[in-house]
Structure 1
Amino acid sequence: MTITRHFVDVGSRRVHYRRSGTGPVLLMVHQSPRSSAEYEPLMRDWSSRFTCIAPDTPGFGRSDPFDDPEAPIETFADSLVAFLDAIGIDRVAAYGFHSGGIILVNALKRHPARFTALAIGGYAIWTESERRIFSEGYLPPFRPLTYGEHLTWAWNRILEQTWFFPWFAVEPATRMSVAHADPARVDSTIRDLLDSGDAYRTGYGAVLRAARDIPAPGEPTAPVLISAYAGDPLQDHIDRLGTLPPDWTARKVATPAEHQRESLEHVAHHAVAGPDHLGEAVDEGFVHVAAAGFDGLIHWKGARGATLTVHGPGRALELVRDAALAIDLPGHGLSDPWPDVPPSEAAPWRDVIETAARALDASEIAYEAAPQGDPELLFPALDPDRFGAYLTRAWSIVRAGHFFSPWYAAEAGAAVDFDPADVAPDRLAIEHRALIRSSAAREWLIARRQMEE
């Protein structure tokens, strides 16, 4: 089932969300520090029965953060309801895992008329000693550093959160049964963390500080199912829930598949239809492009009808300064990758660009300059590896690229002028994010040079 992507304005903030399927609506709220991307496999499965809608919560994925870094759980809950207002949904069934469940339970408490049912994967009930432990070490600042040292920390922190809980308590008593060392799995979370930056502490902090929001035993509410599978550190918290309201159920299950199956059946009994059309921003979104072997979504931003600026290899539209209209090419930024090996011929790239330009009514097409140098050396493979070295390798590339052209020629004859402001860590972080997302940079460079001949 196809998953589409959209942006919508919620007050002064821009929110990114994913959508798939048809039928009654199911709202899906992700955990921290992830984004709606983590639900793509589940959306493909569940969209045979629902219209699945998964927003990036504030400060995660590609949704704008709150101005207040200490925003409480109530602010996240209210923003979720404001998102429903913005896309035109009145009442909805919802699913949330871990942090997503905490937000949903608070939203149900504050806005009971908006939810027909909730299915929750693990609901945390922290003791005071646990809260103290978390407040002391769970959420250290995450800020880019000059030489990319923050990336080494990020890789190991995300990897070892499946080895120990909490991740920083490295001792035999805290070992987990779900440990892994899968580079692709770590990379998917790392990408979300790089999108959030230090804003990850706002969302995570809100759920860690959240009070127990379960209604009193006799209080009527929409039906809620809380379940947790073996290996989930919150499974033991099922025993901490106490007496629940009449329409609430909590149970331990054996596997993630069992948790998902029971959650699906629970919300299926209570989901209701939504509107035919959902709200979207007018100056940013995704267009479907089918051309020259590419069949996917192209991210765009700006004013339809303006000159379309196409970014250079290894970059993204967010790096194109002063563009009235820009796109992310396939295998770059937020656009879909090429379905197979990216082409290095000019014709397929030109066809995709011109098709996107027509869809956006672009008046003309302009191109960023392409870098000089050997394509193989300019854009080496940056596949995730067991130790996360690809992250620091990419950081060194974007940093050196401000001092030398080509970046790999670190010698006096290749030195270029630069603005010190451009190598500030916060700016390099944006370039770094673009580079590690560029799965087709080398091929686009070769094709771009052909277009100039």
Structure 2
Amino acid sequence: MIRITRHYVDVPLGDGSQRRVHYRQAGSGPPLLMIHQSPRNSGEYAPLMERWAEHFTCIAPDTPGFGQSDPLPGSPEIDDFADALVATMDALGLPPCPAYGFHSGGIILVTALKRHPQRFTGLAIGGYAIWTPQEMALFGEKYLPPFEPAGYGEHLVWLWSRMLEQSWFFPWFDTRDAARLPGAHADVARIDLAVREMLDAGAAYRAGYGAVLRAPRDIPPADALTPPVLISAYDGDPLQTHIDRLGAMPAGWRAERCATPADHQALSLDFLQGLARPPAIVPTQSAAAGFLPVRTDRFDGLIHWQGDPGSGVLIVHAPGEELKRGTTGTLAIDLPGHGLSDGWPGEAPIDWADWQQVIDKVAAHFGLTDIRLPHVAPGDAELLFPDLRPDRYGTHLIRAWQIVRARHFFAPHHAVGAASAIGFDPEAIRPECLAGEHRALLRATAARAYYQAIIGQ
């Protein structure tokens, strides 16, 4: 069975600081770089990585500002994202290698190839957009509205509708019958995943997505000497018609239409396998953050950690929360079913011994002897941690926001009244702060079981 692992790499910046990049990895053999579309993250390639891992060491970073990767400073444009990608390749220790990108991931890759042709052996691209000036103007006006958290969660109503209807109309805001898409759906899991990806990116989505939309679409001239490139697009892809807009391309470049996504992926894999095969490598990882494989009687997965492995101190978060990034002098983890760690297989346990086994495994790996558990007050687990599974209308997002806001005012959060009122810090209820707590609670699929386990220990 192919297992996808997760890692961080720290990319040096010119001022002496570092930019942290999160990436997924699977397989063995020559490296293949995989760049996701915006505003998504490398997780979209998980099924493809599991298949292509038979042929390559698949390495899929989150692009700057998306997923768990730090954003670029200032107001970056497409050249900055292309250069940042090459800097990430350098930090990972990648030799010149093949790469795959879909839609905006392809725009970043083609720009990087034009600026740094020596870093690639070839590219397979899924749909390459060549917008007309009129289309560019339309996107510039409406496609990327500001996205900031609002005090009462109003932004969540807009976000759910926006991600739902992007499969109904293209562009998503053009609600005319002529703009309808053939693949319209109301798949709750798909919508919820897209919403969570946008919540992770936050306001940074405008920088990354905007840079792609504003990027020049100039294909290298026909007499240019570049690594080979395949551009393909399947029926139903809005960018399939853009193949006719590509014009003359360099030798070694070609564009093809195909029928299905599976056909596109097969074409891409065949092309990539025909390129020069670089040597296998072990990509570099950060020494201050990562994902530790942990196996116990009940758990077999990755545990997210950040901090100082030599500190001797392990910090364990409260139910429904996650580790705090930037902690110094300690090491913090996300427990199973929380934060970025893997979930429990099946139903999460309410026996504390199962949770303690995971904690002990992490502590033993890093040699940590001072384990600090959270203080948890007894209460009704079902009221403290109600069911937040996604529903068709996105109401789980609003319920979670109401919980994280109310728990700053009352303890427990569901007992609203003078007797349960608590003091609060006005800074802590700023929308930006609540947004982080909200993401943590949505990710905490095992919060209730963890609460029951730690109370009952």
State the distance in 1 between where 2:327 and 2:447 align. 19
Are residue 434 (structure 1) and residue 435 (structure 2) matched?
no
- What is the 5 A alignment of 1:313-328? 313-318=319-324, 324-328=330-334
Equivalent in 249, 256, 259 of residue 264 of structure 2: 259
2:44 aligned with 1:38: yes
Could you say what secondary structure the match of 1:407 adopts? coil
Deviation string 1:92-118 (CA, Å, 9 cap, x unpaired) is 100000010000000000000110110
Cα deviation code 1:9-62 (max 9, x no counterpart): 112210000000011111000000000011111111111111000000000000
3-state SS of paired residue (1:41): helix
Tell me what 1:329 maps to.
Answer: 335
Shift in alpha-carbon separation, 1:312–1:302, aligned structure 2, 3 A: same
Q: Could you say which residue in structure 2 is the equivalent of 1:284?
A: 289
Structure 1 contact 228–253 (Cα < 8 Å) conserved: yes
* Equivalence for 1:311: 317
Question: Aligned partners of 2:276 and 2:65: how far apart in 1?
Answer: 28
Runs of 4+ off more than 4 Å: 319-323
Q: Percent identity?
A: 56
CA-CA distance at 1:277 after TM superposition: 2.1
Confirm whether residue 198 of structure 1 aligns to residue 203 of structure 2.
yes
Equivalent-residue separation in structure 1 for 2:165 and 2:315 (angstroms): 41
C-alpha distance in 2 between matches for 1:269 and 1:371: 61
2:391 pairs with one of 382, 385, 392: 385
- Which residue matches 2:6? 5
Within 1, Cα distance between the matches of 2:274 and 2:376?
55
1:230 matched residue in structure 2: 235
Q: CA deviation at 1:385?
A: 0.8
- SS of structure 1 residue aligned to 2:28: coil
Equivalent residue number for residue 246 of structure 2: 241
Give 2:162's match in structure 1, choosing from 157, 165, 169.
157
List runs of 5+ in structure 1 lacking aligned partners: none
Q: Residue 443 of structure 1: which of 428, 438, 449 is its match?
A: 449
Q: What is the TM-score when the length of structure 1 is the normalising length?
A: 0.97
**Structure 1 residue matching 2:324: 3-state secondary structure:** helix
* Structure 2 residue matching 1:211: 3-state secondary structure: coil
- Residues 320-356 of structure 1, C-alpha deviations (whole Å, 9 max, x = no match): 9666110000000000000111001111000011001
Q: Which residue of 2 aligns with 1:84?
A: 89
Aligned equivalents of 2:326 and 2:441: distance in 1? Answer: 14
Would the aligned equivalents of 2:320 and 2:441 in 1 still touch at CA under 8 Å? yes
SS at match of 2:71: coil
**TM-score, normalised with respect to structure 2:** 0.97
For residue 124 of structure 1, the aligned residue among 105, 117, 129 is 129
Cα pair 1:24 1:271 within 8 Å, conserved = no
Q: What is the CA–CA distance in structure 2 between the aligned matches of 1:362 and 1:404, rounded to whole Å?
A: 35
Residue 344 of structure 1: SS of its match in structure 2? Answer: coil
Give the superposition deviation at 1:364.
1.4
Q: Secondary structure at the match of 1:373?
A: coil
Give the drift of 1:230.
Answer: 1.1
In the alignment of these two chains, the number of paired residues is 450
Q: How far apart, in 2, do the equivalents of 1:366 and 1:13 lie?
A: 29
Instruction: State the secondary structure of the residue aligned to 1:326.
Output: strand
Query: Which whole-Å CA distance do the structure 2 matches of 1:297 and 1:109 have between them?
Result: 37
Give me the CA root mean square deviation: 1.2
Distance in 1 of aligned mates of 2:299 and 2:170: 42
